[in-house]
A = this chain, B = another copy of it.
Amino acid sequence: MATPAGAAVTSEPETTAQRARRARIIQATLALASRGGYEAVQMREVAERSEVALGTLYRYFPSKVHLLVSAMAHELERMRIRLQRKAIPGTTRQERVSYVLERSTHSLQRDPNLTEALVRAMMAADATVADEVTGVRNQMADLIIQAMRNGSAPSEEDVAYAGILQDVWFARQIAWLGGRVSSEDIWNDIEQAIALVLRD
């Protein structure tokens, strides 16, 4: 259960300056994404804002997609910490999972540009980004599974359910950024899927 973090799997020891650079890059990325979405995250601009050379940016994150997926891992980590502060309300699995996914969804959709950038990157990820994407999916699955089991160990079935719900969640995000459904509809669809998948 629960991989502690989906962030960098590379366990290279970094100097303080390097950690600071990495942090500046992620911050610049989030700021640009928040302002104008995926297309506004331009590598030259990220490099300039984080005060590193373009080549250095590419040394830290080998592509725009790597960069944005890493930024998403960073955001999810923040959300996980925030959620862990207090117990998840709800007496049934459905209620708790709905709570967690709703919190996450709304927290993201409060910043539609950022969401668009992060989700689009997840979708654009090819095999070279597999590690980072797996990290994000694990973090997300952890959120769902914790809500389902409320602490106790998950069954194999639980993991499968979490996977399906996550698939639906991502697919609905895509539908939203494909302009085919409104952001309220997204939430209705996800709730419906939760009720369906987790019905007793």
List A residues at the B interface (Cβ < 8 Å): 120, 123-130, 133-134, 137, 160-161, 163-164, 166-168, 170-172, 174, 177-180, 189, 192-193, 196-197
Contact = CB atoms under 8 A, between A and B. Distances in A.
A168 to B, nearest CB: 5
25 contacts: A120-B124, A123-B124, A123-B174, A124-B124, A126-B177, A127-B177, A127-B179, A128-B179, A130-B178, A130-B179, A130-B180, A133-B178, A133-B180, A137-B180, A160-B196, A161-B196, A164-B168, A164-B193, A167-B168, A167-B172, A167-B193, A168-B168, A171-B171, A196-B197, A197-B197
Q: How many copies does the complex hold?
A: 2
Contacts of A128: 179
Nearest to A127: B179
Contacts of A134: 180
Given A171-B170, A180-B134, A123 B126 contact: no
A161 B129 CA distance: 31
A65 to B, nearest CB: 10
A126 B177 CA distance: 6
